[in-house]
Every structure is written in structure tokens, then in C-alpha cells.
Structure 1
Amino acid sequence: MHTEKAVRLTAWVHGRVQGVGFRWWTRCRARELGLVGSASNLPDGRVEVIAEGDQKSCEALLDLLRGGDTPGQVRQVVDRWSEPTGAAKSFEER
């Protein structure tokens, strides 16, 4: 059986994404996809999303973050891919 390699997605979401339920929405989508990590407000108004899991699920989350159905108003999503740390055991809002 082929198992897909785990990856780590870090996404910085720009726009009106704080105080609109964005982190809660992101946590729900990430958990539905079986991902672990966090969604955190940053001091400059962005939300930082860190997700670990199989690449297909992380790509699906990234597509959702860039889609039109998010709370608030997303202007841009900057992503970075790296090796997973394995530190997170669930997906949480911070």
C-alpha cells in the first residue's frame, strides 16, 4: 500500500481575516481533512496557518484558504512548504 509522504504547510493569509471567525473556520476545515497544526492571529493583521499531514490534504486546505467561501475577506495567501515537525497532535486556534 502506498502512503503519501507527510508535509508541513505554512500559509500567511492577508486581508480582513481577524475577528471574523476565520481561525475557527480554518480549524474546522483542517480537522475535516485530517490535518494537525494551528491558526494564529499575527500582530500585523494576518493569520498564520500551520498544517501537517499528507500533501493532498494540505493542498486541499490551501485551496480552501484561497477560495471565495472563507469568513472575512482574503486578499492573498502566501505559502511555504517544508518537512513536518510532528509536534502538533490536533488542530487548534491560537
Structure 2
Amino acid sequence: MPHQARGVEGLSARTRRYARHKDRVATVFEVNDIVAAAELVRNDLGLCIMPRSVADRFPDLRQYRIRRHAPTWKVMVVRPPGDPSPAVAALLRHLA
């Protein structure tokens, strides 16, 4: 059985496969500017997958909950190497 990508990449791949199956041309653009993505959606140039907390910033756009194969994110803490400050060390102890 082939490996199936999860998260946004998997959802994007499944969407492209569906579009090809329906004899449609699927073009996927990935943007890292959420405001630009919202403008593309507003102008009916596609859709955007984003966390609900971000989607709530655009009340003029209709939201649809992904019920099957919803993407998941693993959130990581990053910091520069070396000894952390006392405040950073306390936060890391709380999170880890």
C-alpha cells in the first residue's frame, strides 16, 4: 500500500487527484502571506487551508470545517543555541 501524505500536503495531493479525475485542470499555489491568500480567495481564485484561529480574522470569508482527513500540525519551540535566559528556561520546563 503506498504511503499517503498527511496534513496540508496530503490534502493538497488528494485535491489535485480529484481535480484530474473530474477532467479539470488543477493549479496549486502556495503562499506564505495569509493576507495575500485571503485576497486570492476573495477574488474567487481558489481556497485556502488555515487554522480556525487565523480564518476568524477574515469574517467576510465563509469557513468550512474539514471533517475527513483534516490536517494536523506539530508545533515546535525554537531558540538559539546556548544557555537560555531564566525566563526562557522556565517556559521550556513548563512546555516540555
Greater percentage in strand: 1
| TM-score (normalised: structure 2) | 0.29
Greater percentage in helix: 2
